[in-house]
Amino acid sequence: MGEFELIDRFFKRAARQADVGIGDDCAIWTPSPGHQLALSADMLVEGRHFLSTVNPRDLGHKALAVNLSDLAACAATPRAFLLSLSLPRVDEHWLSGFSEGLFTLADAHGCELIGGDTTQGPLNVSITVMGEVPAHQAIMRSGAQVGDDLYVSGHLGDARLALESFRNTLSLPQTVFELARSRMERPEPRTALGVSLRGVATSMADISDGLLGDLGHILKASRVGANIEISLIHHLMLTSGAWSCPQELLQRCVLAGGDDYELVFTCHPTRRQHVESLSVACGTPVTRIGRITADPRLLLLNEDGSVLPNSFSSFDHFA
């Protein structure tokens, strides 16, 4: 099968929202009047971002999910994407699984594949996603205000738990492993919540490298600090109720795990009920974990107000 047959068979579909989709030198696409474009690219490399054994359907899902998560973090509505694919060989079974996982998620979020590039080489999946947001309503990292509440969406830490299990650094009960693995391999981008927080959240980012690191980007851009109440993070791990996870491990996975694709955002405290109702409407739980401070440090507080030493930056090296 040649390059063009491959594209026709696995990636070309009738253009929906695009003026011109796959097949010409450029795709042509008209943004809605009064909107700004939100653009982001993310590349997944075999061995670094995924294991060679991963199911192609899950890889198709995740490659787009991590990009949609960036759009959600800016409160942008997904519209279209480009797919650049490097493949060692034409494997029809792999391609049909991959494209199925990709298109199922794309359709669920109204995001259309409008072009890309295909070449032979080491397995590498690169997606550029395009969204739109009403002019000047994008939520950036720089808007957090002193006194704002600090929230995270969904669940944190499970993907890291699965990764450590794959690395054989810990052993999990089978049901816990399966649940954690699905969080690692099939993250759900928080599109609905991100978009609904327009005009409500003062700052937002998605959590791809771990809560403390990604929150750190917000604090730096906003020139503020934060207090996180440790007692408020203990239920964030989806699997925490299903086994007796050692507290130290739980804290490390939640605070510095990575690969979560949840949202971290800030809101004025008068918006608490509003945030709660948006969370219910979107079907995405949110947890208030602390607040923004004028003190530029990021502090972890115990229930008695004492400060927990933050040794979590070294987490990357635990093996």
The residues of the shown chain that bind ligand ADP, judged by CB under 6 A, are 7, 11, 22-25, 83, 85, 113, 115-118
What does 173 bind: Mg ion, ligand ADP, none (CB cut-off 5 to 8 Å by kind)? none
Q: Which is nearer to ligand ADP, 50 or 103 (CB)?
A: 103
In 187-214, which positions are buried (b, 16+ CB within 10 angstroms) versus exposed (e)? Answer: bbbbbbbbbbbbebbbbbbbbbbbbbbb
Q: Backbone dihedral region of 135: left (phi > 0), alpha (psi from -120 to 50 degrees) or beta?
A: beta
Candidates 2, 14, 25, 48; binder of Mg ion (CB under 5 A) is: 25
Q: What is the DSSP string of the chain?
A: --HHHHHHHHT----SS-SB-BTBSS-B--PPTTEEEEEEEEEEEBTTTB-TTS-HHHHHHHHHHHHHHHHHHTTPEEEEEEEEEEESS--HHHHHHHHHHHHHHHHHTT-EEEEEEEEESS-EEEEEEEEEEETT----GGG--TT-EEEEES--SHHHHHHHHHTTSS---HHHHHHHHHHHHS----HHHHHHTTTTEEEEEEESS-HHHHHHHHHHHHT-EEEEEGGGSTT-SGGGGGS---HHHHHHHHHH-----EEEEEE-GGGHHHHHHHHHHHT--EEEEEEEESS-SEEEE-TTSPEEP--GGGGGG--
Q: Which is nearer to ligand ADP, 85 or 264 (CB)?
A: 85
Q: Which is nearer to ligand ADP, 22 or 152 (CB)?
A: 22
Q: C-beta of 21: minimal distance to Mg ion in Å?
A: 15
Q: Which is nearer to ligand ADP, 128 or 310 (CB)?
A: 128
Question: How many positions of this chain bind Mg ion (CB under 5 A)?
Answer: 1
- CB–CB of 60/98 below 8 Å? yes
Residue nearest to Mg ion (CB): 25
Q: C-beta of 24: minimal distance to Mg ion in Å?
A: 8
Which residue stretch of 23-31, 112-120, 162-170, 194-202 sits at the interface with Mg ion (rule: CB under 5 A)?
23-31
Q: C-beta of 125: minimal distance to Mg ion in Å?
A: 21
- CB–CB of 217/143 below 8 Å? no
Q: Which is nearer to ligand ADP, 55 or 124 (CB)?
A: 124
What does 304 bind: Mg ion, ligand ADP, none (CB cut-off 5 to 8 Å by kind)? none
Q: Which is nearer to ligand ADP, 103 or 315 (CB)?
A: 103
Q: C-beta of 112: minimal distance to ligand ADP in Å?
A: 11
What does 267 bind: ligand ADP, Mg ion, none (CB cut-off 5 to 8 Å by kind)? none
What does 7 bind: Mg ion, ligand ADP, none (CB cut-off 5 to 8 Å by kind)? ligand ADP
Q: C-beta of 116: minimal distance to Mg ion in Å?
A: 12
Q: C-beta of 77: minimal distance to ligand ADP in Å?
A: 21
Q: C-beta of 118: minimal distance to Mg ion in Å?
A: 13
Q: Which is nearer to ligand ADP, 118 or 124 (CB)?
A: 118
What does 106 bind: Mg ion, ligand ADP, none (CB cut-off 5 to 8 Å by kind)? none
- CB–CB of 182/106 below 8 Å? no
Q: Which is nearer to Mg ion, 25 or 303 (CB)?
A: 25
Residues that bind Mg ion in the complex, under the rule CB under 5 A: 25
